[in-house]
Amino acid sequence: MNWFIYRDDIFTPVSIKASSIEEAIKAGLTIAREVLGSVDRYCVYEVSGEVVIEYWRGREVAVKLIYADDPARALMRYYDAERLGVVVCREVND
């Protein structure tokens, strides 16, 4: 599986070394801050080895970090999970 950043309907491969969700969140925060300027919160969804982490600035600006063979399919699963209320979100405390 590979890591991708998803922003503006484009999947961009990125090189991330993470052996845990916490390491992925931290690595993704660095990238998200470069893209968004700042990050207020993040949301995590993990299932069957796939991971989607969504980073937010405010209520409307977001970027996603996706670990999957098929990032588009993982993104659809994330949206389904979001509708079901099973995505976990946390505030960023710098």
CB neighbour class for 74 (10 Å; exposed up to 12, middle 13-18, buried from 19): buried
Tell me the pLDDT tens digit for each residue of 60-81.
788 999 999 999 999 999 999 9
Q: What is the pLDDT of residues 27-40, one digit of tens each?
A: 999 999 999 999 99
For 12, the enclosing helix (H) or strand (E) is strand 10-14
- Whether residue 93 has pLDDT greater than 90: no
Residue 13's domain comprises 2-91
- How many domains would you assign to the chain? 1
The residue whose two tokens read 């796939």 is: 50
For the four alpha carbons of 67, 48, 71 and 94, in that order, the dihedral sign comes to negative
